[in-house]
Amino acid sequence: MLDQTATALIKPAITRLARVFVRAGVSANQMTLTGFFIGMVAAVMIAIGSYFTGAALILLSRLCDGLDGAMARQTAPTDLGGYLDIVLDFLFYAAIPLAFAVAHPAQNALAAAVLLAAFVGTGSSFLAFAIIAAKRGLSSVAYPNKTFYFMGGLTEATETLLCFLAMCLWPASFSVIAYGFAALCVVTIVMRIGWGWQKFS
């Protein structure tokens, strides 16, 4: 829901920073892998209770995630780049709730499981739509530069980032935040199924 607005706000700065990395010889795929590695370190920090460090690393990881696409557009976008971007993003999104469950299993495990199940729903509805859209040759007007048909909803990347940061800032409230965000994910899933039903019927 907020991705288009957030992208418009940060695009000029991201584009300039991406140009610096491209000139330095860094590839978009290298940036993708770097962002994923930083995200995994963030998960480890959260799992051992270093929540503020985890939050800082999450922000750095997502900065890399924004840069890789901008770098690809300044060079040559590839199918491999698009594939790595989506797969590693999904692994990152799964790692953070899991890290909170590891940090306090008795307190957080059930809420983390519910949130991960909701992520499976948003991810599968997202990817299934993209597969059929590609088969039909459809493209997204809202996200024309994406590798595949990029479908929005209430819980996009910006909302998920804000959710993770809130969890790190208020770790004692993880369960409340996780259940609340899972509920928003369910709304997104229903919306996407509705869009798919309408588009493909």
Q: What class does CATH assign to 3-200? A: mainly alpha
For the chain, the domains span 3-200
Q: Which helix (H) or strand (E) holds 147?
A: none
User: pLDDT tens-digit profile of 87-121?
Assistant: 999 999 999 999 999 999 999 999 999 999 999 99
Confidence label for 76 from pLDDT (cuts 50, 70 and 90) = confident
Share the mean pLDDT of the chain: 90
Threshold 0.75, pTM exceeds? yes
Residue 57 · residue 38 · CB < 8 Å: yes
Please name the amino acid found at residue 7.
T
Phi-psi region of 78 (alpha: psi -120 to 50; beta: other; left: phi over 0): beta
Confidence label for 149 from pLDDT (cuts 50, 70 and 90) = low
